[in-house]
C-alpha cells in the first residue's frame, strides 16, 4: 500500500483543522518546526503544496482541501478501531444533553443502562449549546429541533416538546381549586413572557396577552428550574409533561387540563452517521429508544 508516514498525516490533519501550525503543534505536543517538517515531508510525497502560508495563519490549497477530508476520516476510523480493540467496544460513552432532559429524565433512568452495560462508563455533559460531536469528542447528543435534520448526523425522535400548565396542589388551593383555564390568570405565573403561555391560552380560547404582558417578566431559562419553582408553589409553570412524570405521579404537581400545545419541536437522540455501529453507541441507542417506547409508546 502506497501510504504516507502516519506522523506526517497527523501533523497535516491537525494543521488543516486548526488553520495553524502553532496550534497544531500545541495539540500534538510537538514544536512548530517539527509540524512544519512533517507537512513538508507530506508535500514532497504529494508533489504539490498543501497550504498557502500567510502571516498569522495557513490556508489549504485545493489539493490540501481534498486530502484533509480523507485524512480526518482515516484518523477517526483508526482511533475508533483502536479504541474498540483496546476496550472491547466498551470504554466511556460521552453524552451531551440539554440540562432539563438530564435532570428530569435521563438521570432518573441512567442506572438501568449502567446495570445492563457495566463495562461502559458514562460521561454526562449538560449544556444548552449545540456541540459539534466530532470536534468536541462526544459520542451522542440530546437536542431539540423541528425536523431533526443535522448534516452528517443520524437522529431519532424521542418525544414531542409539548407544553401544558402545571402547578402545585397547594397553589391551586389558594383560589379554591383550578376549574377552568381562566382561573390560571388569578395565580402567579412562572415566566409569563414564555411564548408557550400565549399559545396555550389561544388553544384554550382565551386572549391572555394583555394579562401576560402586564406581569413581571422573570426568566429562569430552563424547564428544570421552572418545574422546581412550580413544585415549591411559586407559580404556575408551562412544562413538557414527559419531563415531569415523576412529579405528576407523586402529586407534587398537577396538570389541571388536558389541553396540550406544541410548536413543532421535539427531543432527538443524535450521533455521527458514520459511527452508528460503534458498540457503545448502539447499546445506548437501543436502550434509550426502548425506555422512551415504554414511557410514551410513540417512538418515531
Rounded to whole angstroms, how far apart are CA atoms 39 and 33?
A: 10
> Residues of the chain whose pLDDT is less than 70?
1, 84-90, 297-300
How much is the pLDDT for 57? 78
pLDDT tens-digit readout, 83-98: 766 655 567 899 999 9
Closest CA to 158 of 48, 265, 1, 2: 265
Rounded to whole angstroms, how far apart are CA atoms 89 and 280?
A: 6
How much is the pLDDT for 299? 43
Please indicate whether the domains covering 6-89 and 91-159+265-296 agree at the CATH topology level: no
Q: What is the pTM of this model?
A: 0.71
Q: Is 92 left (phi over 0), alpha (psi -120 to 50) or beta?
A: beta
How much is the pLDDT for 88? 57
Extents of the domains making up the chain: 6-89, 91-159+265-296, 162-263
pLDDT tens-digit readout, 31-72: 999 999 999 999 999 999 999 987 777 899 999 999 998 898
3-class secondary structure for the chain?
CCCCCHHHHHHHHHHHHHCCHHHHHHHHCCCHHHHHHHHHHHHHHHCCCCEEECCCCEEECHHHHHHHHHHHHHHHHHHHHHHHHHHCCCEEEEEEECHHHHHHHHHHHHHHHHHHCCCEEEEEEECCCCCCCCCCCCCEEEEEECCCCCCCEEEEEEEECCEEEEECHHHHHCCCCCCCHHHHHHCCECCCCCHHHHHHHHHCCCCCHHHHHCCCCCCCCCHHHHHHHHHCCCCEEEECHHHCHHHHHHCCCECCCCCCECCCCEEEEEEEHHHCCCHHHHHHHHHHHHHHHHHHCCCC
Say which CATH architecture domain 6-89 belongs to. Orthogonal Bundle (1.10)
How much is the pLDDT for 238? 96
Rounded to whole angstroms, how far apart are CA atoms 256 and 26?
A: 58
How much is the pLDDT for 173? 97
Say which CATH architecture domain 162-263 belongs to. 3-Layer(aba) Sandwich (3.40)
Class at the top of the CATH hierarchy for domain 91-159+265-296: alpha beta
Amino acid at each position: 500500500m502506497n501510504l504516507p508516514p502516519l506522523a506526517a498525516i497527523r501533523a497535516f490533519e491537525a494543521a488543516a483543522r486548526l488553520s495553524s501550525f502553532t496550534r497544531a503543534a500545541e495539540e500534538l505536543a510537538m514544536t512548530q518546526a517539527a509540524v512544519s517538517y512533517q507537512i513538508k515531508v507530506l508535500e514532497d510525497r504529494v508533489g504539490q503544496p498543501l497550504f498557502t502560508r500567510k502571516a498569522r495563519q495557513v490556508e489549504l490549497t485545493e489539493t490540501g482541501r481534498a486530502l484533509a477530508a480523507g485524512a480526518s476520516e482515516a484518523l477517526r476510523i483508526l482511533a475508533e478501531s483502536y479504541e474498540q480493540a483496546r476496550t472491547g467496544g466498551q470504554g466511556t460513552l460521552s453524552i451531551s444533553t440539554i440540562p432539563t432532559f438530564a435532570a428530569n429524565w435521563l438521570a432518573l433512568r441512567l442506572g438501568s443502562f449502567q446495570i445492563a452495560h457495566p463495562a461502559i462508563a458514562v460521561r454526562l455533559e449538560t449544556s444548552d449549546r449545540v456541540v459539534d460531536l466530532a470536534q468536541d469528542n462526544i459520542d451522542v447528543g440530546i437536542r431539540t429541533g423541528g425536523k431533526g435534520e443535522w448534516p452528517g448526523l443520524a437522529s431519532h425522535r424521542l418525544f414531542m416538546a409539548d407544553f401544558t400548565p402545571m402547578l402545585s396542589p397547594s397553589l391551586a388551593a389558594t383560589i379554591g381549586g383550578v376549574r377552568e383555564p381562566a382561573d390560571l390568570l388569578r395565580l402567579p405565573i412562572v415566566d409569563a413572557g414564555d411564548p408557550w403561555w400565549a399559545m396555550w391560552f389561544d388553544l384554550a380560547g382565551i386572549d391572555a396577552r394583555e394579562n401576560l404582558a402586564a406581569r413581571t417578566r422573570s426568566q429562569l431559562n430552563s424547564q428544570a428550574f421552572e418545574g422546581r419553582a412550580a413544585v415549591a408553589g411559586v407559580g404556575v409553570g408551562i412544562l413538557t409533561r414527559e419531563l415531569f412524570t415523576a412529579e405528576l405521579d407523586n402529586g407534587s404537581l398537577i396538570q389541571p387540563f388536558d389541553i396540550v400545545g406544541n410548536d413543532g419541536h421535539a427531543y432527538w437522540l443524535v450521533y455521527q452517521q458514520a459511527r452508528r455501529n460503534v458498540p457503545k453507541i448502539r447499546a445506548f441507542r437501543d436502550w434509550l429508544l426502548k425506555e422512551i417506547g415504554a414511557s410514551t409508546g410513540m417512538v418515531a
